[in-house]
């Protein structure tokens, strides 16, 4: 298995998805060696985690990470330390993985998203083992329905074309791969993500003391947690927020996660005159991350293009109903939530007002979505992947 | 016929907000206590730095000038937020300011305690802050104030009317050409709609020769000698009665570093100026009392001494700045009703205009981040830290109501 990150040293949903998925795959009797571009302590007992080469997670994060293809560019003379260059990190990972696989025994190469695809291709060429390219997000998604970084897109194209099989996290993503990447439909398997949040019943008071006291005064809190970038549709959320606040000034918005759009969002909230109602925060983790979900009366994910979207499931797990954009994979598996087109800000505003003003609606939505959430698991997806592993292995031996 | 120089220096330091997130709001009520060494968000570090580079060496030169020249005098404004910080961390520096004032020839100019823009948002709070400042000046320096300046020399007819009613003898602002028209800044004027108060307007060309251009090697007049400068002062406007040289105190040693020769210039300049018979110095109030007003000046729109636009856009020019300051003043009635001294004090420290200046994007957009001074990495960070501090104030108000 080739990945770019695992929690707690991760910057988004990919690391979490890989972790949860591997835990269940290993439970079906598969031995996993998970190769990362960095060294760190993980306290993971269900698989072996190997570094492709020794360096700290911070060095990889500073290079830009899997979510920032804009940092993947021609070598830049202004970059003083080449390790901080995403292209350098990408090439380093590929060449070290190619060397590493010569000394390991395995049957399948399973690579997650474009930063590991070249490593996967090289491993396939060196060893002749079958390659699965697992698509969690494409350049199409990350550019909000555009072309994305041309080089990253080229890497996606060649890997998806040469891979023996392609796993897509949703029908939504499968459609994109067929439409935008011309990948034959029969080569793509849908493997839905799932999510279980940690049990936090024993947690003491919420770290959001400000929001708590405001809630005690009748304020409602709308939460979005995720990277603040074009793909996530947050400018649409602010437009909706403006409409909400006009009707009800006692609705607050907590938008946390950081990203290249952060400053733009701060400026936009001010332009709309709703800075008092909109709290924009950077990257949150640990208790701050959990409590940010928990403080919400409703969670909103207004993404422009979301291959899957685990955040609404996390929110439901932490006790909050969700409003999600129809342009997402999670919309395929979740029924008890409000679904809306990301561009329809009137509708988004209306939904937020309905949920925040009517506890009956809010509670019914959450109760039913929580039941769905409890029924979901990685188990089904893991068994599905296990089956694909076996048939690929047989084909390879034949 | 000689002329009188009205030298006016302004000094101020804000309480800068530390990097303050939403997670601190409600649990950490200290916004101004950043302690990282050598960091521009660390207020004590700044006070120490500016004390050594500017306050102490400048006061040494000024005391020497006061001792050597009985004709030498000047006006000085020093904000409450600076006095408080000097009392806390550098009483030695405050003593050197007291020594200046004890000469009897250094006038202290009245202003808002917190270097705020309260005049434009809450007249009641503005009046309270001016009274607080007057009290503090009396306590520290044992003098009464008779001349008034508003933050950034912001000025309009309303302000002059208020200052006149409040009994001030003089008020000052920028000698901005669109306001002066054909008139010269080198006379005393009277504000429109006023009865007694006089108006002095900065000669920005001659002031900025020192404050901005002194060390500029691309300036055709560089280097500026006291002979050349006094020649301009004497010959520039032969009939002028006064020359209003208004500038930041930190010009000496902070904006213009010691190695530019600025201290030598300051030390030698009165010698050169006083060579001509009849030349002298006056404080703002002296000039206002001793010269007749030449005309009435009508300023219906607010002007300031800042930027090429001479307006408040560096403080209130973008929506973030307007959102932040509006939110802050909306809290006024709750803050005052709380009768909680800590909450009121913190609310006032947040009113200091510098916080809004740090949110200015008009230079940041050009990538010219060196065009203005800010301890923050971006105007957006400045805005976020401010808004989170504002939210903590909201929290404390709600908490004090619940109790």
Residue from A207, A257, A266, A294 whose CB has the most chain B CBs within 10 Å, to mutate: A266
Q: What is the pLDDT of residue B200?
A: 98
- Number of separate domains in chain B: 2
Q: What is the pLDDT of residue A79?
A: 47
Burial A341-351 (b: 16+ CB within 10 A, else e): ebebbeebbbb
Which pTM was predicted? 0.86
- Does B332 map to a domain? yes
Domain range annotation of chain A: 13-194+378-397, 209-375
Tell me, yes or no, whether B124 and B186 share the same domain: yes
d(C-alpha B394, C-alpha A209), whole Å: 11
- In this complex, the residue of A216, A276, A281 whose CB is nearest that of residue B22 is A281
Q: What is the DSSP letter of A198?
A: P
CA distances from B163 to A321, B96, B130, B363 (A): 58, 30, 11, 33
Tell me, yes or no, whether B135 and B28 share the same domain: yes
How far from the centroid of its chain's Cα atoms is residue A76's Cα? 28
| Residue for token pair 């279980």 | A196
Tell me, yes or no, whether B384 and B350 share the same domain: yes
- Does B307 map to a domain? no
Identify all chain B residues contacting A261, using CB atoms and an 8 Å cutoff.
none
- In this complex, the residue of A274, A276, A280 whose CB is nearest that of residue B384 is A280
Tell me, yes or no, whether B15 and B114 share the same domain: yes
- Helix, strand, coil tally for chain B in percent (to 5): 50, 10, 40
Tell me, yes or no, whether B283 and B328 share the same domain: no
Burial A101-115 (b: 16+ CB within 10 A, else e): beeeeebbbbbbbbb
Q: What is the pLDDT of residue A68?
A: 65
Question: What end-to-end distance do the CA atoms of chain A give, in Å?
Answer: 23
Q: Closest Cα of chain A to B17: distance in Å? A: 17
**pLDDT tens profile A258-295:** 999 999 999 999 999 999 999 999 989 889 999 999 99
pLDDT at B403 over 80: no
d(C-alpha A21, C-alpha A383), whole Å: 10
In three-state secondary structure terms, A134 is strand
d(C-alpha A280, C-alpha B342), whole Å: 27
- Fold classification of A209-375 is Rossmann fold (3.40.50)
Burial B332-361 (b: 16+ CB within 10 A, else e): bebbbebebeebeebbbbbbbbbbbbbbbb
Q: Does B389 touch chain A (CB under 8 A)?
A: no
Tell me, yes or no, whether B14 and B47 share the same domain: yes
Identify all chain B residues contacting A288, using CB atoms and an 8 Å cutoff.
23
Question: What end-to-end distance do the CA atoms of chain B give, in Å?
Answer: 70
Tell me, yes or no, whether B290 and B335 share the same domain: no
Phi/psi of residue A369, each to 5°? -70, -30
A209-375 shares the fold of A13-194+378-397? yes
Indicate yes or no: CB of A213 within 8 angstroms of CB of B395: yes
Q: What is the pLDDT of residue B369?
A: 46
pLDDT at B289 over 70: yes
d(C-alpha B259, C-alpha B11), whole Å: 21
Range of the domain at B384: 313-402
Answer yes or no: are the C-beta atoms of A2 and A279 closer than 8 Å: no
pLDDT above 70 as % of chain A: 95
Mean pLDDT over A65-90 rounds to 64
Burial B308-325 (b: 16+ CB within 10 A, else e): eebbbebbbbbbbbbbbb
| Residue B99: exposure state from Cβ atoms within 10 A (0-12, 13-18, ≥19) | middle
In total, the C-beta contacts within 8 angstroms joining chain A to chain B are 77
Indicate yes or no: CB of B319 within 8 angstroms of CB of A267: yes
Catalytic choice (B111, B125, B152, B250): B152
Mean pLDDT over B170-196 rounds to 97
d(C-alpha A64, C-alpha B377), whole Å: 19
Q: Closest Cα of chain A to B336: distance in Å? A: 20
Tell me, yes or no, whether B282 and B318 share the same domain: no
- Token digits for A38? 């960095």
Identify all chain A residues contacting B390, using CB atoms and an 8 Å cutoff.
276
Identify all chain B residues contacting A270, using CB atoms and an 8 Å cutoff.
318-320, 322-324, 383
d(C-alpha A223, C-alpha A255), whole Å: 6
Indicate yes or no: CB of A209 within 8 angstroms of CB of B395: yes
- Token digits for A262? 């952060």
Mean pLDDT over B14-23 rounds to 95
| Radius of gyration for the alpha carbons in chain B, expressed in angstroms and rounded | 21
Helix ranges, B274-340 (H): 284-290, 313-316, 319-330, 332-338
Residue at which a domain ends, from B263, B297, B331: B297
Indicate yes or no: CB of A275 within 8 angstroms of CB of B398: no
pLDDT above 70 as % of chain B: 97
Residue of A nearest to B383 (CA): A266
Tell me, yes or no, whether B106 and B163 share the same domain: yes
d(C-alpha A304, C-alpha A342), whole Å: 6
Q: What is the pLDDT of residue B217?
A: 94
pLDDT at A146 over 60: yes
Question: Rounded to 10 degrees, what is the CA torsion of A212, A215, A219, A225?
Answer: 50
- In this complex, the residue of A209, A217, A281 whose CB is nearest that of residue B26 is A209
Indicate yes or no: CB of B322 within 8 angstroms of CB of A216: no
pLDDT at B135 over 80: yes
Identify all chain A residues contacting B387, using CB atoms and an 8 Å cutoff.
275-276, 279
- Token digits for B79? 């904000």
Identify all chain A residues contacting B395, using CB atoms and an 8 Å cutoff.
209-210, 213-214
Sign of the CA dihedral running B113, B114, B116, B122:
negative
Burial A261-287 (b: 16+ CB within 10 A, else e): bbbbbbbbbbbbebbbbbbbbebbeee
Answer yes or no: are the C-beta atoms of A304 and A140 closer than 8 Å: no
- In this complex, the residue of A213, A254, A269 whose CB is nearest that of residue B26 is A213
Q: Closest Cα of chain A to B156: distance in Å? A: 27
Answer yes or no: are the C-beta atoms of A183 and A177 closer than 8 Å: yes
- Top-level class of domain A13-194+378-397: alpha beta
Answer yes or no: are the C-beta atoms of A254 and A222 closer than 8 Å: yes
CATH code, B142 = 3.20.110.20
- Token digits for B339? 């009768």
Tell me, yes or no, whether B274 and B383 share the same domain: no
Indicate yes or no: CB of B319 within 8 angstroms of CB of A270: yes
Residue from B26, B355, B376 whose CB has the most chain A CBs within 10 Å, to mutate: B26
Identify all chain A residues contacting B322, using CB atoms and an 8 Å cutoff.
270, 273
Tell me, yes or no, whether B320 and B293 share the same domain: no
Answer yes or no: are the C-beta atoms of A274 and A242 closer than 8 Å: yes
Residue from B323, B369, B388 whose CB has the most chain A CBs within 10 Å, to mutate: B323
Tell me, yes or no, whether B159 and B108 share the same domain: yes
Residue from B25, B319, B377, B392 whose CB has the most chain A CBs within 10 Å, to mutate: B319
CA distances from A2 to A98, A181, A185 (A): 11, 22, 24
Identify all chain B residues contacting A273, using CB atoms and an 8 Å cutoff.
319, 322-323
pLDDT at A311 over 70: yes
This complex has an ipTM of 0.81
Q: Give the 3-state DSSP-derived string for B249-284, with helices as H, strands as E and coil as C.
A: HHHECCCECHHHCHHHHHHHHHHHHCCCCCCEECCH
The pLDDT mean for chain A works out to 91
Indicate yes or no: CB of B395 within 8 angstroms of CB of A207: no
Q: What is the pLDDT of residue B370?
A: 47
Band of the pLDDT at A81, cuts 50, 70, 90?
A: low
Answer yes or no: are the C-beta atoms of B16 and B43 closer than 8 Å: yes
* B152 catalytic residue (yes or no): yes
């Amino acid at each position: 298995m080739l990945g770019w990150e695992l929690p707690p040293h991760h910057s988004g949903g990919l690391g979490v998805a890989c972790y949860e998925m591997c835990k269940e795959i290993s439970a079906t009797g598969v031995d996993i060696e998970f190769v990362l571009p960095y060294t760190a302590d993980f306290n993971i007992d269900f698989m072996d985690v190997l570094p492709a080469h020794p360096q700290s997670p911070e060095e990889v994060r500073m290079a830009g990470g899997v979510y920032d293809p804009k940092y993947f560019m021609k070598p830049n003379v202004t970059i003083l330390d080449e390790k901080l260059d995403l292209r350098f990190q990408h090439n380093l990972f590929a060449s070290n993985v190619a060397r590493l696989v010569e000394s390991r025994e395995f049957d399948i190469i399973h690579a997650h998203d474009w930063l590991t695809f070249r490593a996967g291709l090289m491993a396939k060429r060196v060893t002749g083992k079958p390659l699965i390219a697992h698509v969690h997000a494409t350049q199409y998604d990350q550019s909000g329905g555009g072309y994305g970084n041309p080089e990253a897109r080229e890497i996606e194209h060649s890997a998806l074309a040469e891979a023996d099989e392609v796993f897509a996290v949703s029908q939504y993503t499968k459609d994109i791969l067929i439409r935008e990447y011309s990948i034959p439909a029969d080569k793509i398997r849908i493997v839905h993500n799932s999510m279980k949040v940690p049990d936090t019943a024993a947690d003491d008071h919420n770290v959001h003391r400000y929001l708590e006291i405001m809630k005690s005064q009748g304020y409602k809190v709308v939460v979005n947690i995720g990277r603040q970038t074009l793909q996530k549709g947050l400018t649409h959320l602010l437009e909706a927020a403006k409409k909400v606040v006009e009707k009800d000034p006692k609705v607050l918005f907590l938008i946390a996660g950081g990203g290249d759009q952060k400053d733009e969002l701060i400026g936009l909230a001010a332009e709309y005159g709703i800075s008092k109602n909109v709290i924009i925060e950077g990257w949150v983790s640990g208790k701050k991350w959990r409590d940010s979900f928990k403080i919400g009366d409703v969670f909103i994910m207004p993404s422009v293009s979301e291959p899957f979207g685990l955040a609404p499931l996390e929110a439901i797990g932490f006790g909050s109903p969700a409003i999600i954009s129809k342009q997402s994979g999670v919309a395929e598996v979740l029924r008890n939530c409000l679904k809306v087109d990301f561009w329809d800000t009137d509708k988004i505003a209306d939904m937020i007002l309905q949920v925040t003003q009517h506890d009956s609606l809010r509670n019914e939505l959450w109760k039913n979505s929580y039941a769905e959430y409890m029924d979901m698991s990685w188990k089904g997806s893991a068994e599905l992947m296990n089956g694909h592993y076996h048939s690929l292995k047989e084909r390879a031996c034949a | 016929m000689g002329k009188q120089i009205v030298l006016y220096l302004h000094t101020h330091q804000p309480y800068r907000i530390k990097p303050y997130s939403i997670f601190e709001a409600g649990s950490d009520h200290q916004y101004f206590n950043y302690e990282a060494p050598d960091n521009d968000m660390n207020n004590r570090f700044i006070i120490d730095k500016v004390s050594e580079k500017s306050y102490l060496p400048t006061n040494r030169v000024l005391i020497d000038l006061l001792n050597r020249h009985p004709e030498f005098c000047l006006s000085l404004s020093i904000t409450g937020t600076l006095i408080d910080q000097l009392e806390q961390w550098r009483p030695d520096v405050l003593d050197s300011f007291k020594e200046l004032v004890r000469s009897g020839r250094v006038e202290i100019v009245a202003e808002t305690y917190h270097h705020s823009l309260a005049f434009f948002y809450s007249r009641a709070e503005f009046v309270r802050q001016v009274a607080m400042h007057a009290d503090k000046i009396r306590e520290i320096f044992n003098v009464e104030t008779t001349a008034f300046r508003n933050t950034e020399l912001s000025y309009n007819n309303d302000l002059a009317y208020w200052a006149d009613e409040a009994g001030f003898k003089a008020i000052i602002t920028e000698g901005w050409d669109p306001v002066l028209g054909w008139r010269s800044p080198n006379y005393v004027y009277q504000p429109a709609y006023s009865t007694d108060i006089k108006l002095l307007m900065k000669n920005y060309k001659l002031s900025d020769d020192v404050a901005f251009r002194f060390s500029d090697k691309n300036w055709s007049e560089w280097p500026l000698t006291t002979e050349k400068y006094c020649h301009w002062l004497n010959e520039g406007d032969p009939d002028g009665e006064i020359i209003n040289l208004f500038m930041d105190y930190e010009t000496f040693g902070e904006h213009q570093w010691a190695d530019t020769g600025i201290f030598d210039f300051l030390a030698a300049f009165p010698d050169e100026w006083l060579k001509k018979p009849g030349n002298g110095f006056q404080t703002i109030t002296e000039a206002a009392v001793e010269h007749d007003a030449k005309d009435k000046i009508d300023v219906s729109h607010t002007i300031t001494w800042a930027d090429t636009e001479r307006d408040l856009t560096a403080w209130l020019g973008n929506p973030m700045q307007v959102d932040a300051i509006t939110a802050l003043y909306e809290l006024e009635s709750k803050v005052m009703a709380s009768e909680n001294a800590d909450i009121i004090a913190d609310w006032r420290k947040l009113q200091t205009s510098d916080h809004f200046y740090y949110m200015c994007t008009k230079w940041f957009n050009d990538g010219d981040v060196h065009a203005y001074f800010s301890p923050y990495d971006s105007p957006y960070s400045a805005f976020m830290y401010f808004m989170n501090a504002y939210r903590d104030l909201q929290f404390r108000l709600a908490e004090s109501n619940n109790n």
